[in-house]
Amino acid sequence: MRCVKLSRQQAISWSSCLEIFDCASFDVPLDYQNSTAGMTTLALIRYNATRSPRLGSLFTNPGGPGGSGIADMLYFGETYSNTSGGFYDIIGE
């Protein structure tokens, strides 16, 4: 597993979508070790924290093949938020 820290230049621009969610896209390399491998775009969806103070973001990914993080959030976004106490933005990919 690889953890990737976003630099300040890689800000994600969120916009309202699907009534209660925010959506965005984010470009990432296909291979962090080989810059000539090209890029791909991740589709992101966010269920915003419902309580204050906001403590950050939790990232979910149902895995695959075939698992959709977007569909997962449509069905379970509120459940994930409630389970984490409502203090975190829940992000699916």
pLDDT one digit per residue (tens) for the chain, 93 residues = 455 555 556 788 999 998 899 999 989 899 988 989 999 999 999 999 999 999 999 998 887 677 788 889 999 999 999 999 999 999 998
3-state secondary structure the chain: CCCCCCCHHHCCCCEEECCCEEEEEEEEECCCCCHHHCEEEEEEEEECCCCCCCCEEEEECCCCCCCCHHHHHHHHHHHHHHHCCCCEEEEEC
Identify whether 5 is part of a domain.
no
Identify whether 2 is part of a domain.
no
Identify whether 65 is part of a domain.
yes
Number of domains in the chain: 1
CA–CA separation, 74 vs 42, rounded Å? 17
Identify whether 37 is part of a domain.
yes
Both tokens of residue 17?
């979508």
Identify whether 25 is part of a domain.
yes
Full residue range of the structural domain in which residue 66 is found: 15-92
Pairing relation of β-strands 88-92 and 56-60?
parallel
Identify whether 73 is part of a domain.
yes
Tell me the whole-structure pTM to 2 decimals. 0.81
